[in-house]
Structure 1
Amino acid sequence: MSAVATTGVWGRTEQQDFRSRVRGTLLAAAVGDALGAPVDGADLAEIRAAHGAEGLTELAPAHGRRGAVTAVTQLSLFTVDGLIRAQVRRDTGAWHPPTDLHRAYLRWAVTQHDWGPDERRKEDGWLAREEWLYSRRAPARACLTGLADDRMGTLDVPKNPGERGAEAAARSAAFGLLVGWEPQLVLQLAVECAVQTHGHPQAYLAAGAHAVLVHGLARGESLDGAVQRALSLLAARPGHQPVTDGLRHALGAVRQGMPNAARVEELIGEGDAEGVLSAAVYCALVGEDVRHGLRLAVNHGASSTAAGALCGALLGALHGETALPPGWLTELEGRATVLELADDFAMEMTQGPALHSPAGASPGWLARYPRA
């Protein structure tokens, strides 16, 4: 696939390529989440006892159906929604993307305790009115507590400063789809939004690193090249060593023979964010295709949903939507919503001024993504 436009001038071919990568990133992350959902929290022995010697190889029932997604995908969708809303609000001069993302995450938090959407709240936009999202799907405690009040965590005063989990990283792929941004700004935004729930450097720097990896792939780089860029950017960040060590270990593990579950578990270690990211990068590097990479990413004793989503986002950004297993996509919960949001994101990033500039605002677009 060709590299997408980074200059703000988009030809038709570049728009099509970008939309394919956006769709691929969001769909593959959701598929990885859904693939891992039935075995999340189980150790490798339990997975093999339930699914055979090769572990889980196909979508299996979780949360009452095959292809069910978890809070990982829910939060990823609200991340995309927040980024679109931030771009729309930019015209007003009141532009602070972390605040718009925080508002989006608070809209997700409402779905975790309300029975369904409040149709009177037009300012919430269309995504918050999707009834299927009003279902609690194993949200991490850090996400619930971090978004339990209106105070926004910041780098100076983060929420949950001891939280090292991978959930913030797993929702951060969409930051990497800001292909017109410089990678250091992508890293910064992902970090500032991660600390709204996960305040430990290992967690928020893993989120920033993942966004930089997706950013490089969406711009046409190789995964190895994107890792090198992430390592360079992380080097200036306090507390980066566990994350940079994890990425280096992922690169080194590629040369250690045939991929297997034991090597994935070794990379994951204690299951903190940097280990799960390391394993996801390894699986994306060694996977023969998307299906193989995702199977490797979910068969272990750590967070299978987070690892599946992280690996899926990388493979989707690298290969685009046409590389994804059609059988898995057919059963994916919320696929229509993911596609609609992906296409809206691609349209906003390539044609935003035509949708909401003072000279030609679209009422329909502003109803979907209100400035309020």
Structure 2
Amino acid sequence: MSNDPGGIPSPESRIHGCLLGGALGDSLGYAVEFDQIDEIRRRFGAAGLRDFSVLDGGTHFSDDTQMTLYTVDGIVEALEWANSGVGADANACVWLAYLRWLDTQGVPVPEAAPRPQPRWIDGQEVLRHRRAPGNACLSGLATGEMGTAARPVNPDSKGCGTVMRSAPFGLVPHIPADSVYKLSSDAASLTHGHPSARQSAGAFSLIIHALVQGSSLAEAAQAALDRVLGDDDAAPELRERLEAAVRLAGGAGTASVLSPEDLVRELGQGWVAEEALAVGLYAVLATAPRGDGGAADPVEHFREAIAVAINHSGDSDSTGSIAGNILGAYYGTACLPTDWLAALEAPEVIRGMAGQLVAVTSG
């Protein structure tokens, strides 16, 4: 998982970094997910929550990491079939994986729905805890219907449950950006039917894909924004939030990032898809070294970005998860604080799923 001597992360390092980084941002944010900023400051001081060491009673990741790992599992199964010479519907594999996740949450699946065969991930007890799963994710899967863009379940839902689970689509190598976008937005349709929910997931996966291909943070953000702006059918709220995130981060530095109050005023609380993407992306861009040349310490960038992403009145675990995914895909494992990793719940499960994705994509 180490970076090569030239400082360019290996594909293995990017995959592990993205999944572990997302879990770290999710876990720190989960501790304050439902708190207003005044309460966060009361509990942790004026700078808010910035480190695992101040948390009592251990740490946990949320449904965001659970569903991200199940997304990985669906992708891995589709690629296993492909590598054996058998074509498989990737979205059907992801849907079956999500149905298995639904079972871990204690929600019965209708008799008419398929009964997927168990896989390694299903035996990991830590993934069976119920960690505030999104209502639309639960209800969409509980219909037993495989939602599509043409026949959506939850047609008006645009919660952030689509975005927070979609980074893995951008980690699959050797497929074009348009295919990444389609895979991600199609998978979003399994639970959420609103255009912004689907398009925000697609845009997020494009950012991860661009970073894995070697783009800078600014280039990856611009590529996703250009894709949205060039789509006549793009949800206007997604255009607005993404444009604002890139614009507001353009002149920022760690000394001039938005206050938590201004962040929410400009970009939203993150409970819906386009807001979660905008907040997570802004946090990464606004704390990046000027010029995005990577000269700053990756670990410090990670710490600062996660602090911005989670310290606000809103969906702190999802915005933290998105920021962590982005930075892990960009820097690889080099950005992950060792003391944070030591505090992370069940890192062996996350590494296990990362290893499976590496194995099926490195042949």
TM-score (norm 2): 0.87
User: Is contact 1:60–1:67 with CA below 8 Å preserved after alignment?
Assistant: no
Distance, in Å, in 1 between the alignment partners of 2:151 and 2:116 is 32
Q: CA deviation at 1:103?
A: 0.3
| Equivalent of 1:86 in 67, 78, 86 | 78
User: Is contact 2:276–2:315 with CA below 8 Å preserved after alignment?
Assistant: yes
Say which is worse superposed, 342-351 or 239-248, in terms of deviation.
Answer: 239-248
CA deviation map 1:264-296 (0-9, x unaligned): 223332532111211111111122510110011
User: Is contact 2:41–2:48 with CA below 8 Å preserved after alignment?
Assistant: yes
Instruction: Go from structure 1 to structure 2 and tell me whether the alpha carbon gap of 1:152 and 1:3 turns closer, same or farther (over 3 Å shift).
Output: farther
- 1:304 maps to what in 2? 316
Distance, in Å, in 2 between the alignment partners of 1:340 and 1:267 is 38
| Equivalent of 1:171 in 165, 181, 185 | 165
| Equivalent of 1:243 in 238, 247, 272 | 238
Report the AA paired with residue 80 of structure 1: V
- 1:52 maps to what in 2? 45
CA deviation map 1:46-68 (0-9, x unaligned): 11112111111112788x94220
Distance, in Å, in 2 between the alignment partners of 1:58 and 1:297 is 13
Aligned pairs, number: 338
Distance, in Å, in 2 between the alignment partners of 1:231 and 1:60 is 36
Q: CA deviation at 1:231?
A: 2.3
Instruction: Go from structure 1 to structure 2 and tell me whether the alpha carbon gap of 1:331 and 1:85 turns closer, same or farther (over 3 Å shift).
Output: same
User: Is contact 2:29–2:310 with CA below 8 Å preserved after alignment?
Assistant: yes
- 1:70 maps to what in 2? 62
Distance, in Å, in 2 between the alignment partners of 1:2 and 1:47 is 35
Q: CA deviation at 1:125?
A: 1.2
- 1:23-62 matched pairs, under 5 angstroms: 23-59=16-52
CA deviation map 1:312-349 (0-9, x unaligned): 10010111112111111111112011111111211210
Distance, in Å, in 1 between the alignment partners of 2:8 and 2:95 is 28
Report the AA paired with residue 248 of structure 1: E
User: Is contact 2:70–2:97 with CA below 8 Å preserved after alignment?
Assistant: yes
The percent identity for this pair of structures is: 33
Instruction: Go from structure 1 to structure 2 and tell me whether the alpha carbon gap of 1:245 and 1:308 turns closer, same or farther (over 3 Å shift).
Output: same
Q: CA deviation at 1:2?
A: 12
Distance, in Å, in 1 between the alignment partners of 2:151 and 2:36 is 35
Report the AA paired with residue 278 of structure 1: A
Instruction: Go from structure 1 to structure 2 and tell me whether the alpha carbon gap of 1:152 and 1:44 turns closer, same or farther (over 3 Å shift).
Output: same
| 1:254 to 2:259 alignment | no
Q: CA deviation at 1:99?
A: 0.3
Distance, in Å, in 1 between the alignment partners of 2:144 and 2:350 is 27
Report the AA paired with residue 57 of structure 1: R
Which stretches in structure 2 are left out of the alignment for 5+ residues? 108-114, 289-300
| 1:141 to 2:140 alignment | no
Distance, in Å, in 2 between the alignment partners of 1:155 and 1:21 is 30
Distance, in Å, in 1 between the alignment partners of 2:36 and 2:217 is 29
| Equivalent of 1:332 in 327, 335, 344 | 344
Q: CA deviation at 1:199?
A: 1.2
Instruction: Go from structure 1 to structure 2 and tell me whether the alpha carbon gap of 1:25 and 1:242 turns closer, same or farther (over 3 Å shift).
Output: same
User: Is contact 2:158–2:197 with CA below 8 Å preserved after alignment?
Assistant: yes
Distance, in Å, in 2 between the alignment partners of 1:14 and 1:84 is 28
* Structure 1 residue ranges (4+ consecutive) displaced by more than 4 angstroms after TM superposition: 1-4, 13-16
- 2:110 maps to what in 1? none
- 1:104-143 matched pairs, under 5 angstroms: 104-113=97-106, 123-143=117-137
Structure 2 residue matching 1:39: 3-state secondary structure: coil
User: Is contact 2:268–2:279 with CA below 8 Å preserved after alignment?
Assistant: no
Instruction: Go from structure 1 to structure 2 and tell me whether the alpha carbon gap of 1:53 and 1:224 turns closer, same or farther (over 3 Å shift).
Output: same
Q: CA deviation at 1:14?
A: 12
Instruction: Go from structure 1 to structure 2 and tell me whether the alpha carbon gap of 1:15 and 1:127 turns closer, same or farther (over 3 Å shift).
Output: farther
- 1:205-284 matched pairs, under 5 angstroms: 205-234=199-228, 235-236=230-231, 238-257=233-252, 258-259=256-257, 260-269=259-268, 271=270, 272-284=272-284
| Equivalent of 2:307 in 287, 295, 298 | 295
Q: CA deviation at 1:92?
A: 5.1
User: Is contact 2:3–2:13 with CA below 8 Å preserved after alignment?
Assistant: no
Distance, in Å, in 2 between the alignment partners of 1:97 and 1:274 is 24
Report the AA paired with residue 287 of structure 1: T
| Equivalent of 2:188 in 181, 194, 209 | 194
